[in-house]
Chains A and B, each alone.
Chain A
Amino acid sequence: MRDSLSQKIKQAREELDSHVREMVEWHFNPETGSEFWLDYASKLDFDPRKEIGGYADLKILGHFEDTWLRGGPVRKWVPKPLLNEPIYVFEIGGSTGVPKTRVNIRDFQTDYEMFSETLSDDGFPKGADWLMLGPTGPRRLRLAIEHLAQHRGGMVFFVDLDPRWVNKLIKRGAHEELELYTDHVVGQALNILRVHENIHCLFTTPKLLEALCEKINLTKTGIKGIFCGGTEMNAQFNRFAREELVPGIDFVPTYGNTLMGLAVNKPFDPADNYAIIYYPPAPRAVFELVNPKNTEESVDYGETGRVMLTTLTKEFFMPRFLERDEGERAEPIEPFPWDGVANLRLLSSLQKSVVVGVY
């Protein structure tokens, strides 16, 4: 490993530990903490502000459970100084039952501004307009894409897709109805692309990209960059997209997550053989790849582990949440001198029981 990278890794680690101390102080301080975390701390036999000196110490808090995010009151998650700010509520899941919610004030804008810095101006020209073809509704994604476009001087045209309805169609095996719904969604996108010549950037999901490309040559419509996310992508899809679906277009796979922010794919390198390697927006979020059978133990680089996600912003504190995903632990690189995850996918133990959003 080069000295400069080693130095960057060390520095990033120090920044992370410092950031952890700052966030723990904020969320567990009676003056600034949220009702949820202050209540949580009151039941502990230690003071997190005294005991947690860095990222490794977060383990004394155990694992965050996403079921805590189900139901209300939602304001219990808002840190006291932010209670009078305009608050967004974003939903997670919800195909059946009560969705989980995460409050947001400005996090999504910060995350997408950071992400914007990683986009090339050739693929995503400043001032270009966007088409967002995918789930809007109560999700962070809709506002986030709009903010991204506006941040880069453009505006967004939207075509919605309701993933909850799609999941219901899949569960009852209504394949033809799903095709009709997809056609309905894609048809609206085609209408927009035909009449708005300044649309050069596209956000969509893998499945919708396939459906769109069946109807239209995106290069000929003037699309220069595609930000693709929303569901799992593997190396084969990445290769297929670059070689056959949208050759010549800047194709940017991403891993977005309402609980985290936006993980960026490692810049394309033929040596990676199309593997998708995500890096989180540290120190605001951290991936740790842990042994699924002993989540206190990290796996080695290149080994497969379960993704443990920690989010550390002033708006939201989520220590050591065990995602339903697994992947290989990826080494730090120059632009992202912290751990990443390669070949992210649904946990193998869940692969037969979960209907992954196929939208």
Chain B
Amino acid sequence: MLHFPILRAGQPYKSLSVLDVTNFKTGEKIAELSQANSGLIRKDFSQAEKNKQTLNDLPVHELLTMCNNAAALFMKEELPINGATQSPEDYIRILSSTTGMPEVLCRKNMDKISFVLDEMETVLSGLTRGLDLSILDQGWGSENGSSLSYLCTTNSLGAILPNNSPGVHSLWLPSIPLKVPLVLKPGTQEPWTPYRVIQAFIAAGCPPEAFSFYPTDYSGAKEILLRSGRSMFFGGASTVQAWEKDPRVQIHGPGWSKVLFGEDQAENWQQYLDTLVDSILINSGRSCLNASGVWAPSHAREIAEALAKRLAKIQAKPMDDPEAQLAAFVNPAVAESISKLIESGLSEGGAEDLTAKYRDCDRVVAVDGCTFLLPTIIWCERPEHPLANTELLFPFASVIEIPQNEILKKMGQTLVLTALTEDKKFIQRILAAPNVDRLNLGPIPTSKVSWDQPHEGNLFEHLYKQRAFQSGHFLTNGRKFVNEI
């Protein structure tokens, strides 16, 4: 039986409290997950400064090399789990069996993580806007003739991690080359990826002290959020709500990502259909980057019908099918309750499930012992409808027709917006919209990530702050930096 120990600054610790990790199809117990009591986590934070020093002692360029090496190890090697080892193939198979993500999508997420590790220098360049990273080694330096200093604001980055998609783990990876140790709370069904990433880093020469891994309950998660100087919190809207006003916590909740059409492009909607489908469908709609809304000032019904027709062709397939595009629900009751929620919204009137007529089965289906929700496109007559701005854990989107001048006001918070317009004035208004986080101008799916761009807040800015800095001890171009006043 595989056992995931707690990692206390890299040191394995087997708890007397364990949680079973099970195959969602068969209920078979696959692994045990040691559970950290909150006091243990609290106590370990007393060593945070010491743990950070192990990364401070390494130059960024060495840490970047370790990231590159970790990428290869993560992808190709047998890596340890408490005395046993796990091959990449085993990792994919087992990850799929506890999360409901098809193996082919697990593989894509694995590629994504490996890519970020391999391209870490580019990622950091994006996050820091091209900063000379040796400044992080020395604490200060100069750029364009000006002195520059950055202060690390924390001894650790805490992360309360989700189960929904392994790809999200790429978001905390830059913390290591940015010299900030990780304190991770894995999801109950998905300890696999963070543990494998940690083992890849350690095998690549990274100090084990930089990695703490605490499977724990809500109380333990709270300790991580309270005691990490900076953290990331992945969760549903109600879960993350209590931490939204805490500047130390970067929230990764629902995305409510959208695609909008300008008046100038709505009539050309057919040429954008692939962008719309990819935005809604990729990664089985499980990511906060997936679009859950399509807003257009005209032709919206035609867009909705065409989307419904395309997406209704997507079928549920077994987890090991190389053509699988849909993830299964680990808990079938959740699929049923989501479907009921949709029906409840439809019963209010003013909305229609356009996919229903193209399917010859229910929205909830069982295939090969797994329960799925089939892609669903809802036509909504008004933006205030309860289904008009709803994000669900499968390929689901509502399509709304609304005048262009009302879109930005009514679409609400939007993590990723793909704007299909060439109207310069409208683009200026979109650029100024405070409710839009990431912006794609043109036919770029919401789910497509450019890794030289920050995501949902900039991790570098989360971990570092620029400090005013003057030195009287050195000269540049024969002139002191310090002006006397």
Report A's interface with B, CB cutoff 8 A. 172-176, 179, 206-207, 209-210, 213-214, 234-237, 239-241, 244-245, 273-274, 358
Whether the pair B43, A214 counts as a contact (CB closer than 8 A) is yes
Contacting pair A236 B17 (CB below 8 A)? yes
Closest chain A CB from B57 CB (angstroms)? 27
Which residues 200-231 of B have a CB within 8 angstroms of A? Answer: 219, 222, 225-226
Q: List 7 A-B contacts (CB under 8 A).
A: A173-B242, A173-B243, A175-B246, A213-B43, A237-B39, A240-B37, A240-B39
Interface mask (B309-335 → A, CB under 8 Å = 1, otherwise 0): 000000000000000000000000000
A274–B17 CA distance with the chains assembled, in angstroms? 11
Kindly name the residue among B35, B39, B43, B241 whose own CB sees the greatest number of chain A CB atoms within 10 A.
B39
Interface check B46, CB cutoff 8 A: yes
| Residue from A207, A214, A273 within 8 A of B16 (CB atoms) | A273
CA–CA, A245 to B39, complex, Å?
9
Q: Name the distance in Å between A54's Cβ and chain B's nearest Cβ.
A: 38
- B184 CB to nearest chain A CB (Å): 19
User: What residues of chain A lie closer than 8 Å to B225, measured between beta carbons?
Assistant: 175
Q: Are A176 and B42 in contact (CB under 8 A)?
A: no
A156 and B37 alpha carbons, distance in the complex (Å): 30
Residue of A nearest to B18 (CB): A236
Interface: B153 (CB within 8 A): no
Residue of A nearest to B244 (CB): A173
- Residue in B16, B42, B246 whose beta carbon sits within 8 Å of that of A239 in the complex: B16
**Distance in Å: Cβ of B383 to nearest Cβ of chain A:** 29
Interface check B466, CB cutoff 8 A: no
In the complex the two chains form, is A210's CB within 8 Å of B17's CB? Answer: no
Chain A residues, Cβ within 8 Å of B39: 206-207, 209-210, 237, 240-241, 245
Among residues of B, the one whose C-beta sits closest to the C-beta of A179 is: B226
The reply to whether the CB of B15 lies closer than 8 angstroms to some CB of chain A is yes
Contacts of B42 in A (CB 8 A): 210, 214
Once A173-B242, A179-B226, A236-B35 are accepted as A-B contacts, the answer to whether A244 and B17 lie under 8 Å apart by CB is no
> Which of B17, B40, B43, B226 is in CB contact (< 8 Å) with A175?
B226
A113 to B241, CA, bound (A): 47
Q: Is B53 in the interface zone, CB < 8 Å from A? A: no
Closest residue to A356 on the B side, CB-wise? B219
Distance between Cα atoms of A113 and B35 in the complex (Å): 37
Roughly how many angstroms separate A43 CA and B37 CA in the complex, as a whole number? Answer: 49
Given contacts A209-B39, A240-B40, A274-B16, 17 further A-B contacts (CB under 8 A): A173-B241, A173-B243, A175-B222, A175-B225, A175-B226, A176-B246, A207-B38, A210-B38, A210-B39, A210-B42, A210-B43, A234-B16, A235-B16, A236-B16, A236-B17, A236-B37, A358-B219
How far is it, in angstroms, between the C-alpha of A313 and the C-alpha of B43 when the chains are bound?
43
Chain B contact residues, CB within 8 Å of chain A? 15-17, 35, 37-40, 42-43, 46, 219, 222, 225-226, 241-243, 246
B155 CB to nearest A CB, Å = 16
In angstroms, how far is the closest chain B Cβ from the Cβ of A87?
38
Distance in angstroms between the alpha carbons of A244 and B40 in the assembled complex:
9
Contact of A214 among B46, B242, B243 (CB under 8 A): B46
B-side interface mostly: helix
Q: Per DSSP, are chain A's interface residues mostly helix, strand or loop, or mixed?
A: helix
Query: Is B17 in contact with A234, judged by CB distance below 8 angstroms?
Result: yes
Q: How far is the CA of A210 from the CA of B38 in the complex (A)?
A: 9
Q: How far is the CB of A276 from chain B (nearest CB, A)?
A: 11
CB neighbours of B43 from chain A (8 A)? 210, 213-214, 244-245
Which residues does chain B contribute within 8 Å of A210, judged by CB atoms?
Answer: 38-39, 42-43
Contact partners of A236 in chain B: CB under 8 A: 15-17, 35, 37
- Nearest chain B residue, comparing its CB with the CB of A214: B42
In the bound complex, residues from chain B placing their C-beta under 8 Å from that of A175 are 222, 225-226, 242-243, 246
B242 CB to closest chain A CB (Å) equals 2
> Residue among B35, B37, B246 with the most chain A CB within 10 A?
B37
- In the complex, which residues of chain B have a beta carbon less than 8 angstroms from the beta carbon of A239? 16
How many Å from the CB of B48 to the closest CB on chain A? 13
In the docked arrangement, what's the CA distance between A124 and B40, Å? 26
- Rounded to whole angstroms, the CA-CA distance of A239 and B13 in the bound complex is 12
Of B16, B222, B246, most A-chain CB atoms within 10 Å? B16
Which residue of chain A lies nearest to B35 when distances are taken between CB atoms in the complex? A236
A351 and chain B: residue at smallest CB distance = B217
The residue in chain A whose Cβ has the minimal distance to the Cβ of B219 is A358
Q: How far is the CA of A173 from the CA of B240 in the complex (A)?
A: 10
- Tell me which residues across on chain A come within 8 A of B241, comparing CB atoms: 173
Distance A173 CA – B241 CA, assembled complex (angstroms): 8
Tell me, in angstroms, the Cα distance from A2 to B242 when the chains sit together. 56
Q: How far is the CA of A240 from the CA of B35 in the complex (A)?
A: 12
For residue A214, which residues in chain B have a CB less than 8 angstroms away from its CB? 42-43, 46
- Minimum CB distance partner of A210 in chain B: B39
Q: Whole-angstrom distance between the alpha carbons of A239 and B243 in the complex?
A: 31
Within the complex, the shortest CB–CB distance from A188 to chain B, in Å, comes to 20
Measured CA separation A213–B42 after assembly (Å): 10
Once the chains bind, are A235 and B17 in contact (CB under 8 Å)?
yes
Task: For the complex formed, measure the closest distance between the CB of A118 and the CB atoms of chain B, giving whole angstroms.
Answer: 24
| B15: A residues at CB distance < 8 A | 236
Q: Nearest residue in B to A241 (C-beta to C-beta)?
A: B39
Max chain B Cβ within 10 angstroms of own Cβ: one of A174, A213, A214, A236: A236
Q: Measured between C-beta atoms, what is the minimum distance from B212 to chain A in Å?
A: 15
Report how far A355 CA is from B119 CA in the complex, Å.
45
A353 to B42, CA, bound (A): 25
| CB-defined contacts of A234 to chain B, threshold 8 Å | 16-17, 37
CA A235 – CA B43 in complex, angstroms? 18
Bound together, the chains give a CA A209 to CA B40 distance in angstroms of: 12
Q: How far is the CA of A235 from the CA of B226 in the complex (A)?
A: 25
In the A-B complex, list the 6 residue pairs whose CB atoms are closest, starting with the nearest: A173-B242, A210-B39, A236-B16, A236-B17, A235-B16, A236-B37
Kindly provide the distance from the CB of A357 to the nearest chain B CB, expressed in whole angstroms.
12
Min distance, Cβ A172 to any Cβ of chain B, angstroms: 8
Contacts of B242 in A (CB 8 A): 172-175
- Cβ of B216 to closest chain A Cβ, rounded Å: 11
> Complex formed: what's the CA distance from A239 to B39 in Å?
11
Q: A232 to B131, alpha carbons, bound, how many Å?
A: 51
A237, B38: Cα distance in complex, Å:
9
What CA separation (Å) do A244 and B16 show in the bound complex? Answer: 14
How distant is the Cα of A239 from the Cα of B17 in the complex, in angstroms? 11
A residues in contact with B246, CB < 8 Å: 175-176
A256 and B37 CA atoms in complex are apart in Å by: 22
For the complex formed, measure the closest distance between the CB of B417 and the CB atoms of chain A, giving whole angstroms: 29
- Which B residues are CB-close (under 8 A) to A244? 40, 43
CA distance A101 to B444 in the complex (A): 65
Question: In whole angstroms, how far apart are the Cα atoms of A244 and B15 in the complex?
Answer: 13
Cα-based distance from A213 to B35 in the complex (angstroms):
21
Instruction: Name the residue of chain B whose CB is nearest to the CB of A171.
Output: B242
Whole-angstrom distance between the Cβ of A173 and the nearest chain B Cβ: 2
Interfacial chain A residues near B222, Cβ < 8 Å? 175
**Within the assembled complex, what's the spacing in Å between the Cα atoms of A237 and B39?**
8
User: Which residue of A has the minimal Cβ distance to B222?
Assistant: A175
For the complex, give the distance between the alpha carbons of A1 and B430 in Å: 79
Cα-based distance from A274 to B39 in the complex (angstroms) = 16
Cα separation A220 to B165 with both chains bound (whole Å): 48
